[in-house]
Structure 1
């Protein structure tokens, strides 16, 4: 019988997950509010509010895996949007027996003094990091109680196609491709890990299907860290474009503007990621799943091509 998978979210990770699974002949259903067709071949689409546990359970019935690739984009709405969504996803996995595979991020760790790895405690102090840590803790508690099977993979800042304004490199890439000077957050010369969205999808699928990996978090294999300026320069080179002037946006600027702008206040909470090295240690994932990151040259080409599409 052909396995069926439900993917909640049609952003870059959800699309890559669906494409990987459908490409090997599995049945895939993407769930979004609109139900809009992504154009991916052999992939079904359903429109529903994924925070409706009953509706989501109905779609997930009989599925092998429920992939959480959702990403409420507005930080100011996270406290409202995430808890009911995560609760519905957990409930649907419990009711159907589907493996619950979660796309995570590094926010739960908060500021760090060295490379991030799964053995670090979730010690965030900002509300977004605390929230994401709590959502994982809730899913893990259900796993430990035997009510479901779950796993979370955590990735650093995304590169690759389809990221757009949600990526620190891709946000400035269109202007840089036109030869304009750009501004980037914090220090632009510090080592920072960037993760290709394709590698997020590859790791998420591998972790979901490896029963022995469940009940914990894993880091997505990523290329060696590069500074913001170097990463942007590399992507420009892949597009045959010259390097551009990169200006710094001081972290303090976001705190000042945040006095009158809720969104800038939310971004200010995260500027610690750009004022010190922000590096991932992914050796456990590489060893467990046999996954190496997509070569950096290819990552840069994919990112540049995606920006031009």
Structure 2
């Protein structure tokens, strides 16, 4: 296996993957539609339309792994964004023989009772969950046929360095650091798993390079669940700042906004995640990879960087 890697996407996961690979001396290229320079020493950058299978294949030639760390800038455009991109990833993986390592999420499971684990069916009924479930089903079908090698890593809502507006907790931190009240979706008192974006990158690399780990889903090692209020309070405390008032967005306000604000309408479909316990059972990955999550205090300190 060569030690060349193509990371598609320069968001929080892609940057962490690139940084980890570069730090160990691997040959790393980050591909984005705009040619974004991550500023990471030793990492090359190329401009690629990853939904173009020929362009993606050319960028991935000679690579051992293609990392799908892409994410649409507009949360409301998944129907247009993902199908051609997912198809191109499958095509490039088949043409080059590179492992396809997919950054997934928990949406495919839909509402669940009890902790989420890899043995649960992908049973979502909302369109985002069904779309992500189909992406993995398509990859699994080709993997089972021996046409590609693929693995998917799923984490819960991200916290950690660089997550910013992409995280339910981290988007509250800039205001909270100024003493402003934090308004959260759903309930503020339900236990919720928050996954460190760095741990997602760590597992993505480990799974991609472990032949025995391919062909299945792995849930990222994640710290014990906390409530949204606890998470925000603990991030502030990690940098010596006082707690702020944390309040749930009134249901009437949230419902009314969904009629006029597209992203709120999208979030409404997934609001079940914030009204009941939403907990990850990561025991399979911990056992297989011998991997523990980054200590929560450290995660909180990095989540406070804005």
Determine if the TM-score, normalized by the shorter chain, exceeds 0.5. yes
Deviations 1:140-187 (A, max 9, x none): 101011110000000000000111111111111001000111101111
Structure 2: distance between partners of 1:253 and 1:218: 37
Question: Does residue 248 of structure 1 match 2:266?
Answer: no
Q: 1:264 to 1:31 in 2, by over 3 A?
A: same
- The answer for the alignment partner of 1:184 in structure 2 is 184
Quote the RMSD (CA, aligned, Å). 1.1
Q: 1:73 to 1:254 in 2, by over 3 A?
A: farther
- The answer for the alignment partner of 2:46 in structure 1 is 46
Q: Does the 8 Å CA contact 2:2/2:63 hold for their aligned counterparts?
A: no
Q: Does the 8 Å CA contact 1:251/1:271 hold for their aligned counterparts?
A: no
Structure 1: distance between partners of 2:122 and 2:200: 20
Structure 2: distance between partners of 1:251 and 1:110: 21
- The answer for the alignment partner of 1:302 in structure 2 is 302
Structure 2: distance between partners of 1:33 and 1:204: 22
- In structure 1, the gaps of 5 or more residues are none
* Count of aligned residue pairs for this structure pair: 306
- In structure 2, the gaps of 5 or more residues are none
Structure 1: distance between partners of 2:252 and 2:110: 18
Question: Does residue 129 of structure 1 match 2:129?
Answer: yes
- The answer for the alignment partner of 1:32 in structure 2 is 32
- The answer for the alignment partner of 1:239 in structure 2 is 239
Structure 1: distance between partners of 2:298 and 2:291: 16
- The answer for the alignment partner of 2:69 in structure 1 is 69
Q: Does the 8 Å CA contact 2:154/2:219 hold for their aligned counterparts?
A: yes
Deviations 1:227-251 (A, max 9, x none): 0000111100011100000111145
- The answer for the alignment partner of 2:193 in structure 1 is 193
Deviations 1:43-102 (A, max 9, x none): 000011110110110010110000000011323210001000011111000000000000
- The answer for the alignment partner of 2:161 in structure 1 is 161
Structure 1: distance between partners of 2:131 and 2:251: 22
- The answer for the alignment partner of 2:221 in structure 1 is 221
Structure 1: distance between partners of 2:57 and 2:196: 31
- The answer for the alignment partner of 2:286 in structure 1 is 286
Structure 1: distance between partners of 2:250 and 2:31: 39
Return the offset for 1:302. 1.1
